[in-house]
Amino acid sequence: MFELHHLTAREQWDWLDRGEITPLELVDHYLDRIERLDGGLGAFVTVTAERARERARALGAAPDRRLALWGLPFGDKDLSARAGVRTTYGSRLFAEFVPDASDELVEVLDGAGAVSLGKTNAPEFGLPSYTESLVAPPARNPYDTATGAGGSSGGAAVAVAAGLLPFAPGSDGGGSVRIPAAATGLVGLKPTRGLVPSGTGLDKLAGLVVPGPLARTVGDAALLLDVMIGEEPPPFSVRAPRWDGGALSNAAVRGEGRFHVGLTTTSPWDAGYDITVSAEASAALAEAVSHLDAVGHGVEDFALDESDAYAGAFRTIWQAGAAGIPADGADLDQLEPLTRWLVERGRGVGARELGGALATLSAFERSIIRQFRRFDAVLTPALALPPRPIGWYSQTDPELNFAQQVQYTPFTSFVNVSGLPAIVLPVSVTAEGVPMGVQLIGRPGGEDVLLSIGAQLERRILWQRRHPPQW
């Protein structure tokens, strides 16, 4: 039987535009699904049902169909502040915090006519690559609820995959959009550093964190990213061609071009950790290569230059980035073991060590861009292993926990360090029916190429027709 969530976000907007449904009808549909299904999934931390209905009524009473997201529901990641709405940052320290002002990205999406249904689940301060905090139930993979959805945008991914939202914004500082997208069978896109004005990354340590979309289709991801970017050029010097409004959506719809694609299964973590690419990840990669060949792209194997310094430098930055978390004295006992370890290690990092780590990662960024220069895009596994069981990560040994995260996600963080765009595409499923994705990394400002290739593969594989049992 047909239901509204079977439509893509673009199709839902078309129905709204034609008056076949109202914003309130669409919002009510998703709120009903959240009420019925989310108890066993952990997608949302806070649901703002009446607030969402009030906004939907207002949008319906004064239609402005010029707005790109008019009437479309979404969820704020629980790391983004929304004025008047509980925002926990995934931590017991902020379990009852209600901000007075909204973050800029929240205001951008509101300005485009979207309707927030609440706050999607995130781990403590977005630090881990899994979403299992002490302030909320774990975000469970809809395809296998014994496994996790990844992180840190785990709740957003669960909501979209299970049909509780048409799409959702996330944030990505080491893979936090791409990891949960890969685990739950979605398209997840991390944009070029500096491209999204409300989250350039340039104000963050080492420029790691940027916002990006999670969606079921390449076109929906492009639609949300176009809105995040806006119609004005980025405020910083970014090689972002065709940033004018709607351009990336156009690239996703056309899906044109033949490109030179590099293929690697090496990562900069190889020198410091025991990294194994699983049979499931290898199978997904092989399937992607087969489709790329069939479309007419040239695929060339290569290996990354060895990097003995990357692992240590990234650890230093990750720890130093946690040093500013507002926890002292007894408040430190409220932090989860991994977070406390990162905070305490980070506060012990001296200026010389921090400066050295930043210099190492800056040199690494230049090296990666140089190594990728001859390719239009580079293909890697999205994850080295299938989705991990809930509770798999050590809660008593932070060093082991960090190593486990690296072994699960060795192909994502170096993209943040290098500032490049990357997209995860859900090309495959395991024998157990759990999604496995691949990652395409682009040139600076090369989102249009990634979306074009993604659209071509989507037309062949039709991953948007795969759904978990809750669908």
pLDDT the model gives residue 235: 58
Q: Could you read off the pLDDT of 139-192 as tens digits, one per residue?
A: 999 999 999 999 999 999 999 999 999 999 999 999 999 999 999 999 999 999
Residue 88 has pLDDT above 70, yes or no: yes
How does strand 73-77 pair with strand 115-120? parallel
Residue 470 within any structural domain of the chain? no
The residue from 91, 116, 152, 198 that is catalytic is 152
Q: Which of 222-236, 334-348, 411-425 has the lowest mean pLDDT?
A: 222-236
- Quick one: average pLDDT of 457-470? 98
Q: Which residue has the tokens 């506060």?
A: 347
Residue 369 has pLDDT above 70, yes or no: yes
77 given a catalytic annotation: yes
E strand residue ranges, 342-432 = 377-381, 422-429
Rounded CA separation 468/450 (Å):
26
Rounded CA separation 189/196 (Å):
12
Q: Within 10 Å of residue 383's Cβ, how many Cβ atoms?
A: 31
- Quick one: average pLDDT of 458-468? 98
Contacts of residues 331-336 at CB distance under 8 Å and 24 or more positions apart, as own/partner, are 331/93, 334/91, 334/92, 334/93, 335/91, 335/92, 335/93, 335/124, 336/91, 336/124, 336/133, 336/134, 336/395
Residue 231 has pLDDT above 90, yes or no: no
Short-list 181, 175, 130, 133, CA closest to 160: 181
- Quick one: average pLDDT of 199-222? 96
Confidence of residue 241 (pLDDT cuts 50, 70, 90): very low
Q: Within 10 Å of residue 11's Cβ, how many Cβ atoms?
A: 15
452 given a catalytic annotation: no
**DSSP assignment string, 195-238:** -SGGG-STTSGGG--EEEEEESSHHHHHHHHHHHH-SSPPSS--
The residue from 80, 153, 176, 198 that is catalytic is 176
- Quick one: average pLDDT of 322-335? 97
Rounded CA separation 147/433 (Å):
12
Residue 411 within any structural domain of the chain? yes
CATH of the domain at 194: 3.90.1300.10
Confidence of residue 244 (pLDDT cuts 50, 70, 90): low
Looking at the chain, the whole-number percentage of residues with pLDDT higher than 90 is: 96
Rounded CA separation 166/171 (Å):
17
Determine which helix (DSSP H) or strand (DSSP E) holds 32, and give its type and residue range.
helix 23-37
Is residue 345 packed enough to be buried (19+ CB in 10 Å), middle (13-18) or exposed (0-12)?
Answer: middle
Is residue 436 packed enough to be buried (19+ CB in 10 Å), middle (13-18) or exposed (0-12)?
Answer: buried
Q: Which domain holds residue 308?
A: 4-465
Number of structural domains (the chain) is: 1
Structure tokens given for 25 = 């009808």
Q: Could you read off the pLDDT of 102-147 as tens digits, one per residue?
A: 999 999 999 999 999 999 999 999 999 999 999 999 999 999 999 9
Look over the chain and give the mean of its residue pLDDT values, rounded to a whole number.
Answer: 96
Look at the alpha carbons of 418, 239, 354, 173 in this order and tell me if their dihedral is positive or negative: negative
Rounded CA separation 137/41 (Å):
8
Q: Find the radius of gyration of the CA atoms of the chain.
A: 21
Residue 131 within any structural domain of the chain? yes
Q: Within 10 Å of residue 88's Cβ, how many Cβ atoms?
A: 22
pLDDT the model gives residue 242: 46
pLDDT the model gives residue 1: 87
Q: Could you read off the pLDDT of 372-407 as tens digits, one per residue?
A: 999 999 999 999 999 999 999 999 999 999 999 999
Structure tokens given for 280 = 């499931």
Residue 119 within any structural domain of the chain? yes
- Quick one: average pLDDT of 352-368? 98
Residue 12 within any structural domain of the chain? yes
Q: What is the pTM of this model?
A: 0.97
Q: Within 10 Å of residue 50's Cβ, how many Cβ atoms?
A: 9
Residue 27 within any structural domain of the chain? yes
Residue 239 has pLDDT above 60, yes or no: no
The residue from 77, 80, 171, 198 that is catalytic is 77
pLDDT the model gives residue 246: 77
What SS3 state is found at 245? coil
pLDDT the model gives residue 234: 66
pLDDT the model gives residue 233: 64
pLDDT the model gives residue 245: 62
Residue 45 has pLDDT above 80, yes or no: yes
- Quick one: average pLDDT of 433-446? 98
- Quick one: average pLDDT of 452-458? 98
Residue 471 within any structural domain of the chain? no
Confidence of residue 426 (pLDDT cuts 50, 70, 90): very high
In Å, what is the CA distance from 468 to each residue of 51, 126, 130, 185?
A: 29, 26, 20, 9
Rounded CA separation 200/192 (Å):
8
171 given a catalytic annotation: no
Residue 347 has pLDDT above 50, yes or no: yes
Report whether 391 contacts 130 (CB < 8 A).
no
